[in-house]
Structure 1
Amino acid sequence: MTAEPPEDRPAAVGVGQARDIGTSITGSLGPIYVRNYWYATSRRERRGALALDLDHERNLAAVFVPPEGWERARRILAADGMVLLAGELGIGRRTAAWQLLDGIGDDDSRPIQVLRPEPGSDGGRVLDAEDVVERDRLLLDLSDVDDQLFEAVQDELTDFFGVVAASAAVLVVLLPSFVTRPRSEFRARTALLERPDGRQVLYRRLREYGIAIPAGALLPDVANLLTNGSVGDVAELASLIREARSDVPDGTAESWFGVAVKRLSDRDTEISQLVAAHPSAADRALLLSVALLAGADAATVLAAEERLLRKVRHTVGPAPDFERSGLGARLTAIGGRLHVDGRVAFTAAGRAAAVLNHFWTHFPSLRNDFARWVIACGDLGAEDAHRETMVARFVEQSLAVGRPGDVFAAVAVWAGDARVPALLASAALEYGLTSVEYGWAFRRRCYEWATDHTNGRTAAPARLADLLVAACRRVIVQTHPEQAIVRLRHLTRHPEPAVAREATTALVEVVGSDRSRMRYLLTRLTGGRRSDADARRADARLFLTTVVPELLVARGGRSLVAAAWVHERLAQRWGDVFDTVPAWEYVPAVHRWLSVHAAAEPADAEALAAVLIAACDLRFDRLSILHSVSREWARTPLPAAQTRRRETVERLYAAVDAAAVQAADAAIDPSTLVQHVQGGTR
């Protein structure tokens, strides 16, 4: 069950305005309503995205109650930089993991990175070392992996931790609930967590809501829940108490508590009785349609009802409209009402979520039909607020029963249907990506869509590819920038030129002036197979626009260009640039490189020159290019810097001379090289 947002539906706003798309997420803290704002400025993207788990991270401290075993976990993490958390489901292990990592971060820290193992293909690894960035705070979530995948993770965990330690990062591993004793080499780093005091969890949540319950006065009503229920169950009770206060603000704490306890015990029973009292397919279809589209106009709700009846293959038609009860009477019978402005809604707070939860939970054989029905309703309605509410409810129910594939299908269909507003596919993907439990699956699906055209499959349609670009740019980058970079790089090769250009622009924006992101991108720009000229050219162009020399030289005492692997990659990419990119595209980049060379410290300047020389690979054609471009740069009329420019060119010519000597050693005629180079202004 999930908490309702403060109002029945978001306020309707137009394109270019802020829209509250607050949603409820259920985790170890129970249902949490997160208010989030997106800005739609065009068809291509929705600005201002903030991942839900960022808000989740910020708000945990106020309601967190340390479980038993917490102090041991803190000591292990502080001493070793890694801890494995064991314990039963529902005790708040994920919350504890977030809090352990939150206590380590500082103002410059990236958000906590949640990692999931992915079953390797053809014997591949299940943990990706490239997910680790310097000084990261990592949560490896194994909570719902099977025993086979868990064994594979344990095989790689020691090596993976070595990468984490070398990066000065820290790692918390959330073990599967069936594991209390991992392999012997990990037991010294394992902390067993036990359920925190339910009373403390309840009081802490209520205090955050500004509600004081007299200690001991009301606890017997829910003694079993507070003693044996999950932390999420206790958090839901606190949320229901808050709802009761919102319904009757001038009530007492005792009355709010009583209402909440009744709702907690009666909610599912009430909906079960309501459904049982309306066995006809038409009534149940109306019930579900109102739940999905509460707040929409009557025509939209009735159209959804008819589509649902078709999807569930209802063969006995309802009575003709003239013989049926009016819509108002039908709504009253199921606890709804028709407002004077023609909108339809339930009269009881929380009814819409409860109805959807009931049908998705208790009618598993119809889940495929329910999903197809929601997808078919994509073109209904006229207001973005109602469409977005529908999407949020659908995603919530699909993920609650473990069916992210239904959301994938909805995103693909809605993105490919010009009759459906782009908002639906965008909202569905964003809700999925920001799911605490299933965000990893949506990021994986985005990768598959982004790489369709490189794996022999049909490329993602342009509308879907546009959506992927926006998702990487505004959502994935917030918590997994490296994964955003990988997906955008593939999208820069999309066969639709407009998509490729937009993906390139987004990649440049994502990398920006972030040194760690540029370094990561450099590891991904492999140039592809040497026989694949298009791949080499694509990576060469990305290299020119994203790998800037200012980020390679010493900053705060550290230099990237001096690292051997960086030097090697830079030289390879410059070689591809000289071979595959027209001169008018790369000349400005070479000029920029030389300008940084002129201003750099001697060691960095030498390293920059060495990269350019190595890129020439003792080839006359490349050395000729480098010579002519550097000569042109030296002649640029900037009197104040002319002396340094001449010095830079002299150093570069000296490096070319050294390359000529190496060419001689390699049985290449050096006189041709020297003759050509010395024929310049030197």
Structure 2
Amino acid sequence: MNQPGSTRVENPQGFIHTGPGNIYVNGGPHLQDSDKPTFRRVAEDQLCRLRRVLVAPINMGKARATLADTGTVILDGAPGSGRTATARVLLREWHRDSGVFHELLPGEEDELALHDPHLVGSGDQLLLDLSAAADRQWSAALADLPALRKAVHEQHAHLVVVMPHDGTLDPDLQYYRVEIQRPPGLQVLRRHLRMHGLPYEQYMQYDVIADEFVRADRPMREIADFADLVRRARETVRPDEGFTQWCAAAKRARNDRRREVAALVAELREAPQRALLIAVSMLHGAHADVIHRATQLLLRTLRSPSDGVPLLQHKDLAEQFREISADTGPSGHVRFTELDYDSALRAHFWDHMPDLRPHLGSWATTVVDLNDPHAVPAVRDSLVARLAGQYLRTGRGDALASLAERWSVESTGGARLEAAVHALTWGLDDPTHGREFRRRIYKWCVHGRLRGEFAQVLVRVCADVLAASHPDQALLRLYYLARRERDTTRARQALYDLVAGSPRLRRRLLDRLARSDLSPPDLDIFLRVSDPVPLTESSGTSRALAEENEVQRSLTTSWHAVLSELPRATWQPHAERWLHQAAASPGQRGELLLDLLVGAAERCGKRRGEVFATLYASAREAERAAPGGPARSVEATELLLHKISVAQGLGPAAPPPASARGTQP
């Protein structure tokens, strides 16, 4: 069932390839809470696996050298040569703690323009994939590319651009262009087979089918698909069969089986038989107990009447499985005897019984809730992935999104929430529907009625999935969720974790806060993200965030709102951290923190005298809790008092000498 332009979800633990030359590695979300944000682990795992499976295309070395020398490389190459996979691996090689991976999406409504210098952070790894761009979009990107390259150079970042094949390129950019060519197909196939765990002595032997397949100049995607079929054939055939038989089964599975499965369905007309066909196709590889219970649940969902036959006269499972060309192995797990039969049957029932579709969503809910020792998370994840594959394959992303929302709202436990996250993940990762899902999630975060546990599902999707490749979009969505948060702090914590790894994202959030209405939720977020330590640290560049004029304006605006509108008990602990950091930071950076506090207080109009006094009193209190003793903190307090006096026109502009500070009680 290889149909051009379709989306096929076969094995959510394997490699999913969804377009010529582009390799999408989906390992399934790992959503357990931990000390580190999950999205970092997911992104790292995906990129590391991609690096191991990629066979370097011709001119990979030249691309690597160009990127190292200039910070920019523009990849060209025929579709199917592995351009985007190569781009991701090149960027993975420049991963540093100071930057984040960021896939640029010019033209989306909540993305910064390519010429905006704030798009690039120190040490970032930027991917601009325009391999499928139309002439107009490519021309617009070329106009912005000089400004983007300048920002990349200044921030010691790295940029890989994937250009349209044979697209035009300005003469001054030709130096950065590297044309890659597909690597040997047999080598690619063997690398995938090795990564799938096949024995060396098997995949290294010559096979006519495999040789004919790779000699046809297949796109990297098709070779990866064939390797996955060989892997699954190995898992289902008899122990005495080897590589030759596995390749033969993979070749048969690539044939169009629509007529074959249509004939089988027409032959099996009884409701229990068809329910079993659907259950096995959607839960392929699950234990027979799960298949049996899922079949009964489907019949109940469809309100099929009982046959009234006494229990002992029913066909046993072995006979029922034989009728539908399925079998159980020694471990009791059910699979069709013919490879890839499951995906063909899923497509058949979905395409030719459209009235069945809404019932399959309801049925999947009951299976997700199934209390059975064999209904392990991998089984649930596979079910959601296969159901999502049918929605996405037929352009029904809206129905998949609605199903995920319903699972979140009606959740009776963690299983449905995990299913909802998994469903939205497949939507976001789909190259055709990803933009639609990003837009939909934005609307939910900003305006949606977040009932039940839906807000927590959105938090996890933004932090664990979206942030891995689109951190700016994740930032904006988490910000809106954090503003609306009442009974939990998960959105805020996810937001803090996201900006902790990127000064650029912290700068953008501070700017967003300063331009907001600075409501109490905004001020609470500000007090947490304005930690003075990352504000005064250098991160690969010569300037700290607090030394940037735009950041200073954002900090002053927000601190003014804090001092004007919040009680002292709320802001005192945060001001204390600023005062302690001012005392601990040598030179101008420590003094700058005091200037920002005084500047914010000075804006308080008629209340500024009262705010100055409160700020000074807070500094004196902070001396007692100063890390490393009060001596340097006393100096900072006296310097603060001097700045307050200057702001009020009560003292000389020159600060007192350091030796004279701290002498007054």
TM bucket (normalised to shorter chain) is 0.7 to 0.9
Residue equivalent to 1:539: 522
CA–CA distance in structure 2, aligned partners of residues 365 and 157 of structure 1: 48
Q: Secondary structure at the match of 1:134?
A: coil
Cα shift at 1:564? 1.9
CA distance change for structure 1 residues 389 and 269 in 2, over 3 Å: closer, same or farther? same
Q: Which of 275, 287, 298 is matched with 2:292 structurally?
A: 298
Checking the alignment, whether the CA contact within 8 Å between 1:613 and 1:623 is kept in structure 2 is no
Cα shift at 1:515? 4.6
Residue equivalent to 1:161: 149
Checking the alignment, whether the CA contact within 8 Å between 1:571 and 1:615 is kept in structure 2 is yes
Checking the alignment, whether the CA contact within 8 Å between 2:112 and 2:119 is kept in structure 1 is no
CA–CA distance in structure 1, aligned partners of residues 68 and 334 of structure 2: 52
Matched, 1:660 2:617: no
Q: Which of 556, 564, 570 is matched with 1:579 structurally?
A: 564
Q: Secondary structure at the match of 2:200?
A: coil
Cα offsets for 1:265-323 (capped at 9, x unmatched):
3454456413223226745554233211343242422432565x69xxxxxx9996659
Write out aligned runs for 1:81-96 (5 A): 81-96=71-86
Residue equivalent to 1:451: 446
Checking the alignment, whether the CA contact within 8 Å between 1:241 and 1:257 is kept in structure 2 is no
Checking the alignment, whether the CA contact within 8 Å between 2:261 and 2:345 is kept in structure 1 is no
Q: What amino acid does structure 2 have at the position aligned with 1:658?
A: V
Matched, 1:484 2:474: yes
Checking the alignment, whether the CA contact within 8 Å between 1:67 and 1:194 is kept in structure 2 is yes
Identical residues among aligned pairs (%): 24
CA–CA distance in structure 2, aligned partners of residues 297 and 550 of structure 1: 55
Q: Secondary structure at the match of 1:228?
A: coil
Residue equivalent to 1:231: 220
Residue equivalent to 1:415: 408
Matched, 1:596 2:572: no
Higher mean C-alpha deviation, range 384-393 or range 638-647: 638-647
Checking the alignment, whether the CA contact within 8 Å between 2:101 and 2:124 is kept in structure 1 is yes
CA–CA distance in structure 2, aligned partners of residues 47 and 551 of structure 1: 18
Q: What amino acid does structure 2 have at the position aligned with 1:468?
A: L
Checking the alignment, whether the CA contact within 8 Å between 2:601 and 2:608 is kept in structure 1 is yes
CA distance change for structure 1 residues 625 and 100 in 2, over 3 Å: closer, same or farther? same
CA–CA distance in structure 2, aligned partners of residues 504 and 187 of structure 1: 45
Residue equivalent to 1:550: 533
Matched, 1:172 2:164: no
Q: Which of 256, 262, 277 is matched with 2:264 structurally?
A: 277
Q: Secondary structure at the match of 2:78?
A: coil
CA distance change for structure 1 residues 50 and 168 in 2, over 3 Å: closer, same or farther? closer
Q: Secondary structure at the match of 1:278?
A: helix
Q: What amino acid does structure 1 have at the position aligned with 2:150?
A: G
CA distance change for structure 1 residues 85 and 337 in 2, over 3 Å: closer, same or farther? same
Higher mean C-alpha deviation, range 21-30 or range 167-176: 21-30
Checking the alignment, whether the CA contact within 8 Å between 2:545 and 2:551 is kept in structure 1 is yes
CA distance change for structure 1 residues 445 and 366 in 2, over 3 Å: closer, same or farther? farther
CA distance change for structure 1 residues 224 and 467 in 2, over 3 Å: closer, same or farther? closer
Residue equivalent to 2:123: 135
Residue equivalent to 1:336: 326
Matched, 1:39 2:32: yes
Q: Secondary structure at the match of 2:75?
A: strand
CA–CA distance in structure 1, aligned partners of residues 118 and 551 of structure 2: 15
Higher mean C-alpha deviation, range 425-434 or range 25-34: 25-34
CA–CA distance in structure 2, aligned partners of residues 391 and 215 of structure 1: 35
Checking the alignment, whether the CA contact within 8 Å between 2:131 and 2:164 is kept in structure 1 is yes
Checking the alignment, whether the CA contact within 8 Å between 1:290 and 1:352 is kept in structure 2 is no
CA–CA distance in structure 2, aligned partners of residues 46 and 348 of structure 1: 43
Checking the alignment, whether the CA contact within 8 Å between 1:430 and 1:475 is kept in structure 2 is yes
Cα shift at 1:58? 0.9
TM-score norm. by structure 1 comes to: 0.78
Higher mean C-alpha deviation, range 641-650 or range 321-330: 321-330
CA–CA distance in structure 2, aligned partners of residues 128 and 445 of structure 1: 25
Cα shift at 1:164? 2.5
In structure 2, runs of 5+ residues without a counterpart are 3-7, 653-663
CA–CA distance in structure 1, aligned partners of residues 399 and 163 of structure 2: 27
| Number of residue pairs matched by the alignment | 622
Q: What amino acid does structure 2 have at the position aligned with 1:161?
A: R
Q: Secondary structure at the match of 1:39?
A: coil
CA distance change for structure 1 residues 96 and 102 in 2, over 3 Å: closer, same or farther? same
Cα offsets for 1:170-204 (capped at 9, x unmatched):
11122345x53346664443333332221221233
Q: Secondary structure at the match of 2:161?
A: strand
CA–CA distance in structure 2, aligned partners of residues 513 and 230 of structure 1: 36
Q: Secondary structure at the match of 1:105?
A: coil
In structure 1, runs of 5+ residues without a counterpart are 6-20, 311-316, 453-457, 665-680
Checking the alignment, whether the CA contact within 8 Å between 1:513 and 1:551 is kept in structure 2 is no
Q: What amino acid does structure 2 have at the position aligned with 1:626?
A: F
Checking the alignment, whether the CA contact within 8 Å between 2:445 and 2:458 is kept in structure 1 is yes
Matched, 1:565 2:560: no
Matched, 1:22 2:22: no
Checking the alignment, whether the CA contact within 8 Å between 1:472 and 1:487 is kept in structure 2 is yes
Cα offsets for 1:451-507 (capped at 9, x unmatched):
11xxxxx4332421121123334444444444333222111222x6225x4322433
Write out aligned runs for 1:370-389 (5 A): 370=357, 373-375=360-362, 377-380=364-367, 381-382=370-371, 383=375, 385=377, 386-389=379-382
Residue equivalent to 1:192: 179
Q: What amino acid does structure 2 have at the position aligned with 1:651?
A: L
Cα offsets for 1:583-635 (capped at 9, x unmatched):
21012222222222222213123211211121123534134213223224315
CA distance change for structure 1 residues 498 and 632 in 2, over 3 Å: closer, same or farther? closer
Residue equivalent to 2:607: 621
Q: Secondary structure at the match of 2:215?
A: helix
Matched, 1:391 2:381: no
Residue equivalent to 2:67: 77
Matched, 1:521 2:497: no
Cα offsets for 1:486-536 (capped at 9, x unmatched):
222111222x6225x4322433344458655433422322242xxx4xx44
Checking the alignment, whether the CA contact within 8 Å between 2:189 and 2:223 is kept in structure 1 is yes
Q: Secondary structure at the match of 1:172?
A: strand
Cα offsets for 1:529-551 (capped at 9, x unmatched):
xxx4xx44332221112211122
TM-score norm. by structure 2 comes to: 0.79
When the two chains are superposed, the root-mean-square deviation of aligned CA atoms in Å is 4.2
